[in-house]
Amino acid sequence: MGAGPHLPVPELEPAGPGWPAAPTAGAVADIPTPEAAPVTAATDPRPRSAHRARRQTAPSGWRWWIEWLAVVLVALVLAFGVRTYVAQMFFIPSGSMLPTLQIGDRIVVDKLSYRLHDIHRGDVVVFRRPPLEHADYSDLVKRVIGLPGDTIASVGGRVYIDGRPLSEPWLPDPEPLTSPSPVPQAFSLTHPYTVPAGEYFVMGDNRTNSEDSRYFGPIPASLVVGKMAFVVWPLDDTGWLVVLAAAAVVLIVAIVVVAFRRPAPDRTARATPLRGPPVPGTT
């Protein structure tokens, strides 16, 4: 069977831009091989946010110290503000408030409550030393007995307010005698005494061994530091609850600080496909 006629081979279309020309017969295509360029931040195909995230996850030493210094300063400011305007701890050095407060007790005084309401009869208050008191203590603690406008008297060892005996459940049983003091002033309770406006008559629960308003007179409201909230030492049931609550607050603050110091995840870093020249036979 003889060979058939040779059919003409159609010419290939010229290569588009970016493609090398077709090699001639007997020639070997010389395909240049580009040299590998070093990868830098400018040529790295990964997103720039990856470089930023890598730098942010390793803070420098000075930045770490600044962050903790800011935390310490904020804690000091908060502690100063709490001590000045909210609460303060005091030490009981004498027995004038026995048996309610023992020598050596440590109490927390609420400084905020009297900004919201008036002083009440029966409140245990801490106040600055009045002018007629010569004790070495700068602050004293007593119980409010007479309010502004009350007429207070000592009759038969009991306290009378406006002619009626005062119920004092805070005193031990049997009740100690409340006797007038030897000072010549009217507030000694030798005779009935009317408490001036804006002032309070205070006494210690240990009536037989307490220098109080029977000796130095009523105290003005401006001298009152605050109201005793609870005994913090030795701890009672209320004290333990307060300590646990304070520990919980400190733990929460520590967690918040750690959470804020942790770098946020970079949500913009995504895999970006590399784009090159089109592959023949694909669209």
For the annotated catalytic residues, the residue numbers are 96, 142
Of residues 222, 3, 249, 253, the one with CA closest to residue 119? 222
- State in Å, rounded, how far the first CA of the chain is from the last one: 44
The dihedral sign for the CA sequence 102, 103, 105, 108: positive
Alpha helices by DSSP H, the chain: 48-56, 61-81, 213-216, 237-261
Q: Are 210 and 162 in contact (CB under 8 A)?
A: no
Q: Are 179 and 206 in contact (CB under 8 A)?
A: no
Tokens describing residue 99? 């048996």
Alpha helices by DSSP H, 122-280: 213-216, 237-261
